[in-house]
Structure 1
Amino acid sequence: MKQHIRELLEEALPLVDIDSDFLFSELDSLGVTTILMILSKEYDIVLEAEDATPKNLKTLDAIVAMVTHKIADRK
């Protein structure tokens, strides 16, 4: 899943270092919105503005954890 998310985000946000330890600081509001929309559609989960926290978007691992948690909550 991590590699798939990396590929999705690298394609959508080519100027952002997806492997940054401070990914959230590299994102503007459009970047955050793009991430939420892509992952919501790809994994059929509901990601809202409340999910766009520095903790959830700090690193690629944090994003994967957020998606995994949302998928688990869906069931």
Structure 2
Amino acid sequence: MYPNPAHNKISTFRNQNSSDATYMIMDITGRVLIEETVGAYSEKNIEFTEAGTYLVKIMSVSGLSEIKKVVVY
């Protein structure tokens, strides 16, 4: 995931055979702000967020998940 810290967008690239995954951006309390299905590469507009720390969760169709922290300034 890059850039981090971010200002107006974040990009992710998954190096996996599965092309579909559930992508979520959550605030630090766990409230989901964005949830959608994405492919191996995704670019999200985050201009609507306030400055702070957010969590990005990517879960593959096989159930494997990864959570990363992103700082928005």
TM-score normalised according to structure 1 size: 0.28
Instruction: Name the larger-Rg structure.
Output: 2
Greater strand share, structure number: 2
